[in-house]
Amino acid sequence: MATLRRLRETPRHLLVCEKSNFGHDKSRHRHLVETHYHNYRVSFLIPECGILSKELKNLVMETGPYYFVKNLPLHELISQEFINTFVKKGKLILSLDKDTYEESGLQGHPSQYSGRKIMKFIISIDLMDLSFNLDSKKYERISWSFKEKKPLKFDFLLGWHHTGMEESVMMSYFSNYQIQEHQPKVSLSTVRDLQCPVLQSGELGGTPEMSCSALELFDWLGAIFSNASLNNEPNNFISTYCCPQPSTVVAKAYLCTVTGFILPEKIRLLLDQLCHYFDEPKLAPWVTLSVQGFADSPVSWRENEHGFRKGGEHLYNFVIFNNQDYWLQMAVGANDDCPP
């Protein structure tokens, strides 16, 4: 019986849904966008829209560039020059397996999601603290570990939010390591005669026969971006999934997806611009902005530990209403802290 019960178990996931208004003093939307660092995919959906505005189009086309460096030794990231040039404040967080951790000779702590046997360790190095104390024993030890004891090299994706400095500084700084510049991939499309759920901004859980819930909207959005059919009959042999009810049909909707290594600052600009979408009267009752993190990122929000487990999900979605109310859904997987 215990075996049968275990066969029906799945790793726990969390979906947190909250609602607020962009005008609220205590609204956390900016903070949550800015502290979700490693973003792989950003998508938005605008019902009743056939052409993107110039401002939105420009923002979408300017989400890059990002950089790819192969075999970069870790000690480069703790050099004074690197910290002074690129880092205003920040931490270097390493997620290491047991053997690498023990060979590194550095102090860390076990992963929160270890079972009986601890297989993963996290080392967190405050870069600003380090750069102010170059003579300290701590810096000596870390330097010795990265240069001699266990020289680690990784392929890195780099994104740099800079004001004033030129883009080319990044390229020339890592020129010894064959740095490549990449632009995020942008995909734009218009969908015709789309069934959209009816939503009421004040009713997160939906109201029977009046509006759909946040959870239904979240699944429907996934169906749209996965190109699933929404019109199946309940007795269809192949699929019974259909658009949540109540729903309306919109003549057209604009979909946009950007993939790459996308900075939270760029996402914040997109969110602000989408909020301004309703400055002029529009047919659309709401628009959505969804962001998905890298499955293998060691952190989700801030320094919250993130693990892959079976899916590596950490994503969030805004539903922006025409009255500046919003819904925010944050989803994480099994080896994750609860979203903030």
Output DSSP code: residue 276.
G
- Rounded to a whole number of angstroms, the minimum distance from the CB of residue 40 to another protein is 4
277-316 mask for another protein (x: CB under 8 A)?
Answer: -------------x-xxxxx-------------xxxx-x-
Residues 157-196 within binding reach of another protein (CB under 8 A): 180, 182
Interaction of residue 8 with another protein, rule CB under 8 A: yes
Interaction of residue 105 with another protein, rule CB under 8 A: no
- Rounded to a whole number of angstroms, the minimum distance from the CB of residue 291 to another protein is 10
Q: Which stretch binds another protein (CB under 8 A): 46-54, 115-123, 133-141, 236-244?
A: 236-244
H helices of the chain, in order, are 2-7, 29-34, 54-61, 80-86, 98-104, 127-132, 137-144, 168-173, 214-225, 264-275
Interaction of residue 3 with another protein, rule CB under 8 A: no
Cβ(316)–Cβ(7) under 8 Å? Answer: no
Report residue 206 CA to chain centroid gap.
26
Q: Which stretch binds another protein (CB under 8 A): 4-12, 53-61, 114-122, 168-176?
A: 4-12
CA distance readout (Å), 180 to 60, 68, 162: 21, 5, 18
Nearer to another protein, 126 or 296 (CB): 296
Interaction of residue 254 with another protein, rule CB under 8 A: no
Residues 6+ apart with CB under 8 A from 184: 63, 64, 65, 66, 258, 259, 260, 261, 262
Task: Burial-class residue 164 by CB neighbours within 10 Å (0-12, 13-18, 19+).
Answer: exposed
26-65 mask for another protein (x: CB under 8 A)?
Answer: --------------xx-x----------------------
Q: Which stretch binds another protein (CB under 8 A): 11-19, 74-82, 268-276, 279-287?
A: 11-19
Candidates 1, 2, 9, 89: give the one binding another protein (CB under 8 A): 9
- Rounded to a whole number of angstroms, the minimum distance from the CB of residue 181 to another protein is 11
Q: Which stretch binds another protein (CB under 8 A): 98-106, 121-129, 167-175, 212-220?
A: 212-220
Q: Residue 26: how many CB atoms within 10 A of its CB? A: 5
User: What SS3 class is residue 157?
Assistant: strand
170: its two tokens: 């990044």
Candidates 122, 204, 253, 263: give the one binding another protein (CB under 8 A): 204
CA-nearest of 325, 301, 303 to 314 is 301
153: its two tokens: 């090299």
251: its two tokens: 């003549």
Q: Residue 167: how many CB atoms within 10 A of its CB? A: 11
Q: Could you tell me the strand order of the sheet in which 91-97 lies?
A: 91-97, 120-126, 109-110
- Rounded to a whole number of angstroms, the minimum distance from the CB of residue 296 to another protein is 7
Interaction of residue 15 with another protein, rule CB under 8 A: yes
Nearer to another protein, 175 or 226 (CB): 226
Nearer to another protein, 106 or 332 (CB): 332
Q: ∠ CA(249), CA(255), CA(261), 5° rounding?
A: 150
Q: Which residues bind another protein (CB under 8 A)?
A: 7-10, 13-21, 24, 40-41, 43, 68, 180, 182, 204-205, 215, 218-219, 221-223, 225-229, 237-241, 257, 259-260, 290, 292-296, 310-313, 315, 317, 331, 333
